């Protein structure tokens, strides 16, 4: 049973007598993040740490989380990847109340499904590249399943993030955010503690790309990744790959066999982002010396690798297809592009009606020159059609990266009534109209 | 040590100068603050024709009327914040044929993006020679601050340039002030249009009378057909007596990158 309880501002909350203590508390407040020895980022964070605290919740067991907003702006916390009622999902557009500046709220919900999820702010940033997802307001959610999908010796959570953005002219003629600092868990390469491992261990990495707008490619020198889950959902075919690609808001869970003792670098494959700091040292017990990095010579990633084997079942005959065309609107060489879905920008975008129990196919057509990590709230979708491939099945996600100029199809079952937000997870795109709201009839 | 030498040279140059004579219309462009990326080169051809200009020879300088100026500009990116440009000036005119006019060199530095300034800022300095039959003053020097900004569909740039003569009749004429300004609007991703203003007010502290100042106003369009190409076309009018009355200008630029394209960089 999912419910919202006492999601109110401080004054009203004071009227609630003898409220039970929450299971968790999150304070949203300004924070000086030392990303390097001589570099401090002034940002906003959860509980004065970046990433925010890891919340380990049990699938199906109700939880209460008190959130206080000590900033000067309204806030809201989105529980990304969970199937929650709109009132607590954490999107104002769906009806979740904002937490006013100086106010607080109590989120009460029953977390599901199990897997690697995350929580983050869901506010408008616009041209302010120190608000919204540009800040350190993100943290890991681990919804514990009854059975773990893989056996491992250590579980490590890593968040990729980009900082100190500014709007600069980009190759497509518009302004886009560009970043000076890139971090893993809030630190640049060489600053902070290494990941300490032992020879023979199996490490389960849970990697989140919390970047406001950047796709990241991650490799671990001397090792490979066995991808076991995407966006927290087990994949039908775990596969060993040399590198991971994560679009904003995507998560990858991967096993690594620690069978190559030494000191190694795990970091961004692209040189300029590694140079901006996105890396972390992985150090075997007893190993010393300079961490080694093997520069890959190409970028490789394909969702298809992880799809179920065998021919995909045909779509259910009553599946309803909803075509969604994404395009940009030029706003000047000195501005960020505006974005449209089927020709309209939010809040003018259409609000397609969903019928509970009905299967839907979303036919994405990205007619722009940009890639888009699109996200559906409160549901998971199944990848069905990727560019250049026959129908696939078995991969469940809540974010998929649409390459520029491509078409992709996903399916989902409308099984969670209520307003359901769909948007590009690139902060500057969703702020500029790339958003729409499904509603149930 | 070297910066003190440079500072001394700058002060010496300014203190010994007393007047300026503007260069001819060989490169008519309001600079933007950005610089060419390292490991890349911009090659531009500036074509300027004067349908209605100075019709008589003055102080041994050929009249500008019906002169076609072709200037080759080669700019090489040095770092993410610096570049150096070279100019080869030529002139064609009935009776004189194609003539080499002179050469200039122009280093430029800009404020790096990491400084997060709200406007683009750079400074260029230009030194060069031009033949006396095309310019009374043969060796000239210029320092040009450049400020610009994109604001949605609008773009503006200001170049308050200071010039002086190192060799020629105006060597002792001091530092002159020659501002240039651009304001343009993006009609769509490919086409921008606007106004460019160029002037030479004369010596700092004792500007020439309006009659003797040089002032030109151009209606221009920039065609942004590709990141590799730069196209600027304009028609200018000189409203003062000391200015060529009509000028047609065009800039065709091509960007060449010497970096091996790689998704890994």
Q: How many CA atoms lie within 13 A of A161 on its CB side?
A: 27
Nearest partner of A423 among A329, A305, A340, A331, judged by Cα: A340
Residue among A168, A178, A330 minimizing CB distance to B188:
A330
Distance of CA B20 to the CA centre of its chain: 16
**A332 close contact with B: CB closer than 8 A:** yes
Q: CA quadruple A265, A268, A273, A279: dihedral positive or negative? A: negative
**A270 close contact with B: CB closer than 8 A:** yes
Is the Cβ pair A333, B151 closer than 8 Å? Answer: no
Beta-strand relationship, A359-366 and A320-329: parallel
- Partners of A269 on chain B (C-beta within 8 Å) are 264
Q: How many CA atoms lie within 13 A of A200 on its CB side?
A: 0
Q: How sure is the predictor about B64, in pLDDT bands with cuts at 50, 70 and 90?
A: confident
pLDDT in tens, A149-187: 568 999 999 999 999 999 998 877 889 999 999 999 999
Residue among B116, B189, B224 minimizing CB distance to A166:
B116
pLDDT in tens, B107-158: 999 999 999 999 999 999 999 999 999 988 999 999 999 999 999 999 999 9
Is the Cβ pair A299, B151 closer than 8 Å? Answer: no
**A200 close contact with B: CB closer than 8 A:** no
Residue among A180, A269, A334 minimizing CB distance to B114:
A180
pLDDT in tens, B175-206: 999 999 999 999 999 999 999 999 999 999 88
At residue B18, the pLDDT reads: 30
Is the Cβ pair A298, B113 closer than 8 Å? Answer: no
Nearest partner of A202 among A140, A259, A287, A286, judged by Cα: A259
Residue among B154, B189, B264 minimizing CB distance to A334:
B154
**A171 close contact with B: CB closer than 8 A:** yes
Is the Cβ pair B153, A331 closer than 8 Å? Answer: yes
Q: Tell me the Ramachandran region of residue B205: left when phi exceeds 0, alpha when psi lies from -120 to 50, beta otherwise.
A: left
Q: Which two tokens stand for residue B14?
A: 């300014």
Is the Cβ pair B116, A330 closer than 8 Å? Answer: no
Q: How sure is the predictor about B24, in pLDDT bands with cuts at 50, 70 and 90?
A: low
Residue among B116, B152, B265 minimizing CB distance to A332:
B152
Residue among B114, B150, B265 minimizing CB distance to A270:
B265
> How many other CB atoms are there within 10 angstroms of residue A68's CB atom?
18
- Partners of B150 on chain A (C-beta within 8 Å) are 169, 175, 332-335
Q: Which two tokens stand for residue B70?
A: 């072709």
Interface of B with A (CB under 8 A): 34, 113-114, 116, 149-155, 186, 188-189, 192, 224, 227, 263-265
Nearest CA in chain A to B227: A171
At residue A148, the pLDDT reads: 64
At residue B13, the pLDDT reads: 39
Task: Extract the residue ranges of chain A whose pLDDT is less than 50.
Answer: 1-18
Q: Is B4 helix (H, G, I), strand (E, B) or coil?
A: helix
Is the Cβ pair B150, A330 closer than 8 Å? Answer: no
> How many other CB atoms are there within 10 angstroms of residue B239's CB atom?
11
What ipTM does the predicted assembly reach? Answer: 0.83
Q: How far A128 CA lies from chain B's nearest CA (Å)?
A: 13
CA distances from A71 to A22, A30, A163, B5 (A): 21, 7, 19, 51
Is the Cβ pair B192, A173 closer than 8 Å? Answer: no
Quick check: B6 pLDDT over 70? no
**A38 close contact with B: CB closer than 8 A:** no
Quick check: B15 pLDDT over 70? no
Is the Cβ pair B155, A333 closer than 8 Å? Answer: yes
The strand ranges marked E within chain B are: 18-19, 40-52, 68-79, 82-93, 97-110, 120-130, 139-151, 154-167, 173-174, 176-186, 191-200, 202-203, 206-207, 214-223, 229-237, 246-257
Quick check: B14 pLDDT over 60? no
Residue among B152, B227, B264 minimizing CB distance to A171:
B227
**A309 close contact with B: CB closer than 8 A:** no
> How many other CB atoms are there within 10 angstroms of residue A426's CB atom?
28
- Partners of B116 on chain A (C-beta within 8 Å) are 166
At residue B106, the pLDDT reads: 97
Rounded distance, CA A228 to CA A217, Å?
Answer: 17
Tally A–B CB contacts below 8 A.
54
CA distances from B193 to B182, B186, B190, B222 (A): 10, 7, 10, 6
pLDDT in tens, B159-174: 999 999 999 988 988 9
Is the Cβ pair A270, B113 closer than 8 Å? Answer: no
Is the Cβ pair A331, B152 closer than 8 Å? Answer: yes
Rounded distance, CA B143 to CA B145, Å?
Answer: 7
**A271 close contact with B: CB closer than 8 A:** yes
CA angle at B64 for the pair B62 and B70, rounded to the nearest 5°: 100
- Partners of A331 on chain B (C-beta within 8 Å) are 152-153
Residue A329 exposed, middle or buried by CB count within 10 Å (0-12, 13-18, 19+): middle
- Partners of B155 on chain A (C-beta within 8 Å) are 333-334
Q: How many CA atoms lie within 13 A of A82 on its CB side?
A: 33
- Partners of A297 on chain B (C-beta within 8 Å) are 264
Q: Tell me the Ramachandran region of residue B241: left when phi exceeds 0, alpha when psi lies from -120 to 50, beta otherwise.
A: alpha
Is the Cβ pair B151, A334 closer than 8 Å? Answer: yes
**A275 close contact with B: CB closer than 8 A:** no
Distance of CA A219 to the CA centre of its chain: 19
């Amino acid at each position: 049973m999912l419910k919202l309880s006492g999601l109110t501002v401080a004054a009203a909350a004071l009227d609630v007598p003898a409220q039970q203590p929450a299971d968790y508390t999150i304070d949203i407040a300004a924070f000086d993040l030392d990303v390097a020895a001589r570099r401090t980022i002034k940002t906003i964070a959860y509980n004065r740490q970046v990433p925010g605290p890891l919340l380990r919740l049990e699938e199906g067991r109700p939880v209460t989380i008190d959130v206080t907003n000590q900033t000067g702006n309204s806030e809201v916390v989105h529980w990304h990847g969970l199937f929650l009622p709109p009132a607590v999902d954490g999107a104002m557009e769906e009806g979740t109340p904002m937490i006013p500046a100086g106010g607080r709220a109590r989120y009460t919900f029953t977390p599901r499904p199990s897997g690697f999820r995350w929580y983050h702010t869901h506010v408008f940033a616009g041209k302010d590249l120190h608000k919204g997802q540009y800040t350190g307001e993100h943290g890991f959610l681990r919804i514990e399943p009854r059975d773990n999908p893989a056996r491992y010796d250590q579980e490590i959570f890593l968040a990729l993030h980009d900082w100190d953005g500014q709007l600069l002219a980009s190759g497509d003629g518009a302004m886009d955010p560009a970043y000076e600092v890139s971090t893993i868990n809030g630190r640049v390469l060489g600053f902070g503690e290494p990941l300490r491992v032992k020879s023979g261990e199996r490490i389960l990495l849970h990697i989140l790309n919390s970047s406001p707008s950047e796709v990241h490619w991650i490799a671990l020198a001397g090792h490979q990744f066995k991808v076991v889950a995407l966006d927290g959902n087990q994949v039908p075919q775990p596969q060993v790959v040399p590198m991971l690609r994560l679009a904003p808001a995507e998560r990858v869970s991967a096993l690594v066999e620690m069978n190559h003792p030494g000191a190694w670098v795990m970091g961004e494959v692209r040189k300029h982002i590694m140079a901006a700091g996105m890396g972390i040292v992985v150090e075997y017990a007893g190993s010393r010396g300079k961490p080694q990095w093997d520069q890959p010579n190409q970028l490789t990633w394909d969702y298809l690798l992880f799809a179920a084997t065998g021919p995909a079942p045909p779509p259910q005959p009553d599946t309803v297809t909803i075509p969604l065309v994404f395009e940009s609107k030029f706003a000047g060489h000195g501005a960020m592009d505006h974005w449209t879905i089927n020709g309209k920008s939010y809040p003018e975008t259409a609000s397609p009606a969903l019928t509970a129990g009905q299967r839907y196919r979303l036919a994405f057509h990205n007619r722009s020159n940009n890639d888009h990590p699109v996200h559906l709230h409160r549901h998971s979708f199944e990848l069905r059609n990727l560019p250049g491939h026959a129908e696939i099945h078995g991969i469940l996600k809540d974010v998929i990266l649409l390459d520029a100029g491509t078409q992709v199809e996903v399916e989902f079952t409308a099984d969670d009534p209520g307003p359901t937000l769909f948007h590009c997870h690139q902060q500057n795109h969703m702020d500029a109209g790339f958003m729409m709201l499904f509603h149930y009839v | 040590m070297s910066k003190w030498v440079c500072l001394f040279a700058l002060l010496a140059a300014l203190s010994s100068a007393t007047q300026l004579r503007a260069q001819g219309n060989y490169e008519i462009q309001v600079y933007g603050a950005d610089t060419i990326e390292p490991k890349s080169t911009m090659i531009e051809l500036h074509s300027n024709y004067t349908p209605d200009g100075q019709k008589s020879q003055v102080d041994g300088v050929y009249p500008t009327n019906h002169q076609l100026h072709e200037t080759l500009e080669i700019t090489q990116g040095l770092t993410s914040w610096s570049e150096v440009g070279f100019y080869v000036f030529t002139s064609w005119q009935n009776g004189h044929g194609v003539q080499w006019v002179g050469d200039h060199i122009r280093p430029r530095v800009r404020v790096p993006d990491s400084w997060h300034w709200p406007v683009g800022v750079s400074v260029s300095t230009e030194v060069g020679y031009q033949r006396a039959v095309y310019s009374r003053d043969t060796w000239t020097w210029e320092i040009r601050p450049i400020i610009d900004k994109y604001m949605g569909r609008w773009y503006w740039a200001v170049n308050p340039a200071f010039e002086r003569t190192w060799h020629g009749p105006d060597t002792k004429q001091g530092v002159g002030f020659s501002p240039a300004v651009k304001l343009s609007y993006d009609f769509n991703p490919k086409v921008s249009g606007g106004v460019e203003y160029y002037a030479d007010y004369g010596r700092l502290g004792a500007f020439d009378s309006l009659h003797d100042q040089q002032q030109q106003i151009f209606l221009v369009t920039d065609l942004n057909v590709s990141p590799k190409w730069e196209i600027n076309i304009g028609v200018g009018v000189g409203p003062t007596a000391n200015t060529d009355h009509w000028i047609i200008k065009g800039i065709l630029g091509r960007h060449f990158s010497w970096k091996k394209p790689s998704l890994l960089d």
